[in-house]
Amino acid sequence: MNSRKTRPLLVWIVSILLLLMALSQVTSHTLILLLDPSIQSPQVRAVAGSWSAFDRLAPYLLAGLLIVSTLLLFLMRRRAIAWYSAYLVFVLFTTLQQAATTSWLEVFNSRALLAGLVQLGLFALVLGYMIWLGRRGELS
């Protein structure tokens, strides 16, 4: 018999989706920063123009945290919970900070904030799944 545990299908799905999300976040943010502003929409120019150095670096830090926590989840490591929790706290902080200090809320209205909070809710479900895996002894 093979004593090695199999990786749950949902871990595969969540890991793939989170990695794709991190890569798309880095790609889209890099394009906003590097593309000629004249080809960007006025809304994007307005938001990008109001960014501080922190606002420019935060998506890369978030993507790094997400990639590390996702790889730890895929490897079925308990440390994934702590890394993903740090990611969630940082997402909440940056969302609220950008809503307060940049013009994205004015440009895209309160639906952008609502979308960010819904995204946080989905991320919280993933954290709940990780915690559930940990309590079942699936994470080492």
Domain residue ranges of the chain, discontinuous segments joined by + = 9-35+42-135
d(CA 13, CA 116): 22
- Rounded CA gap, 6 and 27, in Å? 33
| Averaged pLDDT of the chain | 86
Q: What's the burial of 129, exposed, middle or buried (CB within 10 Å: 0-12/13-18/19+)?
A: middle
Closest by CA to 49, choosing from 101, 100, 93, is 101
Residue 28 has a pLDDT of: 87
Say what angle helices 110-135 and 79-101 make with each other, to 10 degrees.
Answer: 170
pLDDT in tens, 62-108: 999 999 999 999 999 999 999 999 999 999 888 888 777 776 666 66
**Could you tell me which residue, 116 or 31, shows the higher pLDDT?**
31
CA nearest to 126, candidates 90, 97, 83, 94: 83
